[in-house]
Amino acid sequence: MPRTQPLKICLLLLPLIFCEATQAQSPPKIRAAYTSIAIQMDPIYIMKELNLTRKQGLDAELLYVPVSSRAIQAALAGEIQFLTSGGVANVNANMAGADFVGLTATLNTFVFKIISRPEIKEPAALKGKKVGISRLGGVSDAAIRFALDRWGLVPDKDVAIIQVGGEIEEMMALQNKAVDAAVLSEPIASVALKSGSFLLYDLSRLDVQYTMHGFGTKKSYIRDNRDVVIRFMKAYLEGIYVFKTNKELALNVLKKYTRVDDVSLMQTAYQEMSQRLIRSVPYPSPEGIQTILDQLGKGRPEIKKFKPSDLIDPSILKEIEDSGFVKRLYGQ
């Protein structure tokens, strides 16, 4: 063989070798979904704006998918890898045979407000009325059913629960008198109040542990991609850190995503979220899940087969915290 032949072969192979090396170095691609436009999602908006996932070596696409039950369907189909969802959606997904677990309990109590037409001044006055929620089976649905039970009202009998869409759609339905009250979180609740609606009840006053919002994924995805899960959760924890420590940036990002220009509407909610409700390391809560299991189990005894430990995985956050990552973030 001529001496030039091995050289020609090497030259022909170089593009293939370079392509394979480039592919090996490219960051893992993932998709994550957030399921509402609300202040509790601000750490995720910050992740997106500052591209914190890139810092962790991930090529992430963060998408808005209204309502957690839809997002879970997309996750189970393999279209997204991480999503925000309430504990109730997680339970329902696992009842249908999924292997879904919560990685965090970013909010572990109700933060919804029941906003009503001005003439409705007390919860008892909801009897015979219509309450708007985002989606049947979602966390706003679970929240109003929990509250109605506490108030001695029977859902779907004493009070009609109407699926409307997102929270902005709920507010519009309330203003157009298509519903008599709506289940809203901040800052949309404050926008509705400013337009003349009435604060019927703040569900945080119920003071109950209830996993309302957190990130989750499939058990099988954790098993096969644990390093990716850890890196994604590090980016999220940094989003929480920025949210808690940089008020100006946090509110500016929130303005962009909520399209609410009046920052004064967000001040109180931001203070409560950043200082009290959203923890630096928001471990998933067995107690918050147990409340959901108890509630759903009243009408569906088969749910009692689940234990909270079946539906959460605290090991990811523990591994990150044990590594010292969070202490380094906060300069400790």
Nearest residue to 189 via CA among 278, 247, 273: 273
The tens place of each residue's pLDDT in the chain, 332 residues long, gives: 445 555 454 445 555 554 444 445 788 999 999 988 889 999 999 999 999 999 999 999 999 987 666 777 888 888 999 998 878 878 888 888 889 999 999 999 988 999 999 999 999 999 999 999 988 877 888 899 999 999 999 999 999 999 998 888 999 999 999 999 999 988 899 999 999 999 999 998 888 899 988 999 999 999 999 999 999 999 999 999 999 999 999 999 999 998 888 888 888 889 989 998 999 999 999 999 999 999 888 888 899 899 999 999 999 999 999 999 999 999 98
Q: How many beta carbons lie within 10 A of that of residue 230, not counting itself?
A: 18
State both tokens at 85: 């969802």
Note whether 285 and 211 are within 8 A (CB): yes
Rg (CA), the chain: 23
State both tokens at 186: 């901040």
Question: Is residue 98 one of the residues assigned to a domain?
Answer: yes
- Same-domain status, 195 and 86: no
Question: Is residue 3 one of the residues assigned to a domain?
Answer: no
What phi and psi, each to the nearest 5 degrees, are found at residue 215? -90, 145
- Same-domain status, 173 and 222: no
Place of tokens 């929270």: 167
- Same-domain status, 238 and 265: yes
Question: Is residue 21 one of the residues assigned to a domain?
Answer: no
Of 173, 206, 239, the residue that ends a domain is 206
- Same-domain status, 77 and 167: no
Q: What is the pLDDT of residue 1?
A: 45
Nearby residues of 191 by Cβ (< 8 Å), 6 or more positions away: 171, 260, 265
Question: Is residue 12 one of the residues assigned to a domain?
Answer: no
The CA distance from 208 to 26, in Å, is 45
Q: What is the pLDDT of residue 64?
A: 92
The CA distance from 56 to 41, in Å, is 20
Q: What is the pLDDT of residue 18?
A: 47
Question: Is residue 192 one of the residues assigned to a domain?
Answer: yes
The CA distance from 84 to 41, in Å, is 9
Q: How many beta carbons lie within 10 A of that of residue 252, not counting itself?
A: 13
Using left for φ > 0, alpha for ψ between -120 and 50, and beta otherwise, residue 280 falls in alpha
Nearest residue to 250 via CA among 23, 40, 1: 40
Full domain range(s) for residue 67: 27-107+212-329
Q: Where are the beta strands (DSSP E) in the chain?
A: 29-34, 59-64, 82-85, 100-102, 113-116, 130-133, 160-163, 181-184, 198-202, 214-218
Q: At what angle do helices 87-95 and 139-150 cross, to 10 degrees?
A: 110
Give the CATH number, domain containing residue 165: 3.40.190.10
Of 155, 171, 206, the residue that ends a domain is 206
The CA distance from 77 to 75, in Å, is 5
> Is residue 100 helix, strand or coil?
strand
Note whether 293 and 72 are within 8 A (CB): no
Total number of domains constituting the chain: 2
Cis omega before residue 187 (within 30°)?
A: yes
